[in-house]
Amino acid sequence: KRTVVDMMPRLAQFSPEMFFRSYFNSCTEFLLSIVSSKEETDKVAGFSALGMILSELPDPKLVTPFVSKVLSAISANLNNRKQFCFESITCLSQLSMTVSSSDVPNAVWDDLLPTIFLAGLNEQVTKAASTLERNVPSRTREIQIMLLQLLTFII
């Protein structure tokens, strides 16, 4: 199972046209089932593969049917402090590179952004914040404030 998950982004990069035409929907459903399951063993690989595939999309319209499911899986993971997976933060930032910020309701950003920063200050959070700031310009100020608050808390 893990090998299949690890191979999916490589296949998308190797032959993007064929992958997205023939396999994208089934692969995305499969990865969503992994990241949404209660079983934690493959979530890291699942979120990582999902994010890489989403960032390779040749046509952003392909992801439209999956946006709410991806955001739900990310939200569920970010709110699960016992079995938290940092790759969900990276997956969110990669999703933001693909979809328009207007495709994600404001209420979703209101819920997701604060939970990202609860993960503390680390490389994944700062990279995701930088990517989100570029791709979701309506939330730039909010992201900057949250990063400053996090820095102030650490100092």
Give 2-44 as a DSSP string: HHHHHHHHHHHHHSHHHIIIIIHHHHHHHHHHHHHSS--TTHH
Q: How do the pLDDT tens digits run along the chain, 155 residues long?
A: 889 999 999 999 998 889 999 999 999 999 999 999 887 788 999 999 999 999 888 888 888 899 999 999 999 998 887 777 889 999 999 999 988 877 888 888 889 999 998 888 888 899 999 999 999 999 999 999 999 998 888 87
- pLDDT score for 32: 96
HSE value, Cβ hemisphere, 13 Å, CA-based, for 118: 14
pLDDT of 20? 92
Is the pTM of the predicted complex or chain greater than 0.75?
Answer: yes
| Residue 9: predicted pLDDT | 95
Report the alpha-carbon distance of residue 25 to residue 20 in Å, rounded: 8
The residue with tokens 């296949």 is 11
Contacts of 114 by beta carbon, 8 Å cutoff, 6+ apart: 146
In sequence order, the 6+-apart residues with CB closer than 8 A to the CB of 6 are: 45, 49
Task: Give ∠ CA 80-86-92 in degrees, rounded to 5.
Answer: 95
What is the pLDDT at residue 103?
Answer: 80
- CA angle 148-152-153, nearest 5°? 120
Nearest-5° angle of CA 126, CA 109, CA 73? 85
> Of 80, 74, 78, 82, which Cα lies nearest the Cα of 46?
74
- Cα 47 to Cα 144: distance, rounded to the nearest angstrom: 25
